[in-house]
Amino acid sequence: MNLSEPEKLALANGVLTIDVGAVVANYRTLVAQVAPARCAGVVKADSYGLGADKIAPALWQAGCRDFFVALIGEGLALRDILGPEARIYVLNGLPPGAENAAVSANLIPVLNSLAQCRAWKDTGRPAVLQVDSGMSRMGLSVADQEALLADEELLESLDLVLLMSHLANADEPDHEGNLSQHAGFLAASSLFPKLPLSLANSAGSFHGDSFHLDLCRPGAVLYGIEAGPRVVGIKPVVQLEARVGQLRDIPAGASIGYGYQFTADKPMRLATISVGYADGWPRSLSNRGAAWFSGQRLPIVGRVSMDSFVVDAGAVPELAEGDLVELIGEHQSADDVARDAGTIGYEILTNLGRRYHRIYNFSAGGAS
Ligand SMILES: *Cc1c(COP(=O)(O)O)cnc(C)c1O
């Protein structure tokens, strides 16, 4: 069935509005922050759930030429979106058997192990070498780096275009791990002396010039979520509104939702919202957190279920079935929701569901 946009909007359980103009403004803020270092765009996980098909081309138009995804499959999709010129790096490396696909789309894998180096060497194609500077997650250990240096044939057959590592504590600028990882990374760079260097994610890009090196790799800041205490000047990107499915009045003593996790101690007016954990609205918000309407906070009562949750709507007698309440926006950010849910803004964004009606705004500079 072919529905018009207003019809789609009318039947949607929620409206997710993504301000691509604000993403571009945040990119420009980062470019100025890290210059003369180059600034990449991290668009893994479908641009943190917001739509790489819309966001990556906007970043390209803003001058971004270096794009990071996590998976080869994401790289293949991004190649189709961006065309042949973009540099597309794949952070999670090269699973065995993925070489041909990576070559076919001219992807630049991040080689994280000696096995990956060996699997890539015969392609003659460019690659990034990642070293582990202390996070113990991905990249060559110091012993692996020495083994690579000792294997001249392997080293010389690799076309390495970048040396990278990743910070484990960039969101805590005073954490001693930042300086020790920086030192470890520079030690590795002296072993591979001719390679350009990349260390900083969003938060690391605000640690001072010594962390910028040749290329920064911000993701979170592009999408307007909190990355670290020194990050300033970033615009919000996401607005999420959810439909009121039903209103009801209950007497004192009535219980609400699965498991009767809330019992009214007075008569209450409730609104049932047509969004649940299947939409990425965390179940951990049961009896925590809120929706907003007309500047009023409507606390969540009872458990969040798969397709709905209930709020105390006593403060807004004008609320009607079909109205939209704010879940992310002016009154509460994705990071506020994350704090209520015991997680981080990254997880809230990347879980945003597929059932919302999506609206993309491309206004230059983004909303203020
Ligand atoms: C996800 C990721 C980034 C981007 O991190 P943000 O905190 O979102 O800026 C950069 N580098 C690596 C290796 C990553 O995995």
Q: Which atom of ligand 1 is nearest to the CA of 170?
A: 7
- How many angstroms separate the alpha carbon of residue 201 from the centre of ligand 1? 5
User: Tell me, what's the pLDDT at 1?
Assistant: 85
Average per-residue pLDDT for the chain = 97
- How many angstroms separate the alpha carbon of residue 122 from the centre of ligand 1? 29
Q: Is the peptide bond before 36 cis (omega within 30 degrees of 0)?
A: yes
pLDDT surpassing 70 at residue 367: no
Q: Are 206 and 230 in contact (CB under 8 A)?
A: yes
203-252 pLDDT, tens per residue? 999 999 999 999 999 999 999 999 999 999 999 999 999 999 999 999 99
pLDDT band at 303 (very low <50, low <70, confident <90, very high): very high
pLDDT surpassing 80 at residue 360: yes
Give the mean model confidence (pLDDT) for residues 104-129: 98
Say what percent of the chain tops pLDDT 90.
98
The residue whose CA has the least distance to atom 1 of ligand 1 is: 219
The residue whose CA has the least distance to atom 10 of ligand 1 is: 201
- How many angstroms separate the alpha carbon of residue 227 from the centre of ligand 1? 10
User: Tell me, what's the pLDDT at 263?
Assistant: 98
8-65 pLDDT, tens per residue? 999 999 999 999 999 999 999 999 999 999 999 999 999 999 999 999 999 999 999 9
Backbone angles phi, psi at 349, to 5 degrees: -65, -50
User: Tell me, what's the pLDDT at 368?
Assistant: 45
The residue whose CA has the least distance to atom 13 of ligand 1 is: 166
Cβ of 93: how many Cβ atoms within 10 Å? 24
- How many angstroms separate the alpha carbon of residue 167 from the centre of ligand 1? 9
308-349 pLDDT, tens per residue? 999 999 999 999 999 999 999 999 999 999 999 999 999 999
Q: Which atom of ligand 1 is nearest to the CA of 217?
A: 10
Q: How far is CA 249 from CA 244, 265, 268, 303, in A?
A: 14, 13, 6, 18
The residue whose CA has the least distance to atom 15 of ligand 1 is: 91
The finding on whether 240 has its CB within 6 A of some atom of ligand 1 is no
The catalytic position among 8, 27, 44, 260 is 44
User: Tell me, what's the pLDDT at 313?
Assistant: 98
The finding on whether 165 has its CB within 6 A of some atom of ligand 1 is no
Q: How far is CA 288 from CA 153, 271, 337, in A?
A: 59, 15, 10
Q: Are 264 and 345 in contact (CB under 8 A)?
A: no
**Is 258 one of the catalytic residues?**
yes
- How many angstroms separate the alpha carbon of residue 217 from the centre of ligand 1? 6
The finding on whether 42 has its CB within 6 A of some atom of ligand 1 is yes
* Cα torsion through 69, 19, 84, 29, rounded to 10: -80
User: Tell me, what's the pLDDT at 365?
Assistant: 55
Measured between alpha carbons, how far is 167 from 183 in angstroms, rounded to an integer? Answer: 12
Amino acid identity for residue 240 in this structure? L
Q: Which of 217, 223, 350 to mutate to test the pocket of ligand 1 (most atoms within 8 A of CB)?
A: 217
Give the mean model confidence (pLDDT) for residues 184-205: 97
- How many angstroms separate the alpha carbon of residue 166 from the centre of ligand 1? 8
**Is 266 one of the catalytic residues?**
no
pLDDT band at 307 (very low <50, low <70, confident <90, very high): very high
Q: Are 306 and 329 in contact (CB under 8 A)?
A: no
User: Tell me, what's the pLDDT at 134?
Assistant: 96
The finding on whether 202 has its CB within 6 A of some atom of ligand 1 is yes
Give the mean model confidence (pLDDT) for residues 283-312: 98
172-183 pLDDT, tens per residue? 999 999 999 999
pTM value?
Answer: 0.96
User: Tell me, what's the pLDDT at 363?
Assistant: 84
The finding on whether 91 has its CB within 6 A of some atom of ligand 1 is yes
The finding on whether 169 has its CB within 6 A of some atom of ligand 1 is no
Measured between alpha carbons, how far is 54 from 16 in angstroms, rounded to an integer? Answer: 14
The finding on whether 227 has its CB within 6 A of some atom of ligand 1 is yes
- How many angstroms separate the alpha carbon of residue 314 from the centre of ligand 1? 42
The finding on whether 201 has its CB within 6 A of some atom of ligand 1 is yes
